[in-house]
Amino acid sequence: MNPIMEMGQLNKEAMHICTSGGNLSNAEFLLRQALMRSSACRSPLPGAKIKHNLALVLTLSERRDEAHRLLSSALETVSDAQLEHSSFYRRIQTALHGLAA
């Protein structure tokens, strides 16, 4: 399987674990693996999506500082791609504001 397909599969599996009340450590591991594979993409946006999802898992694991760093990085990536008006940009902003609350 190519790295991009692996990245998608790892992301999907990790988010299933996360939403089904599974082991967050396993979800984190899978997302970190997916993040490594995202470098095979021509666009940086899949990596930003993985960082967003990983930040959600870290927030659930009470690791807010690390989640904040990942969300800030993802927001910068989306901004660099000039997608400030996208729903993904707004989701990242909402997650960042949620960490500040």
| Total number of domains in the chain | 1
Domain containing residue 27: 3-100
State residue 1's pLDDT score. Answer: 75
Mean pLDDT of the chain: 95
The whole-number average pLDDT for the span 59-76 is: 96
Mean pLDDT throughout 38-59? 95
Average pLDDT score over residue span 6-35: 95
> Rounded distance, CA 52 to CA 31, Å?
10
Residue 93 predicted with pLDDT over 80: yes
Counting Cβ atoms within 10 Å, is residue 88 exposed (0-12), middle (13-18) or buried (19+)?
middle
Amino acid 100: pLDDT: 83
pLDDT tens string 6-19: 999 999 999 999 99
CATH label of the domain that carries residue 21: 1.25.40.10
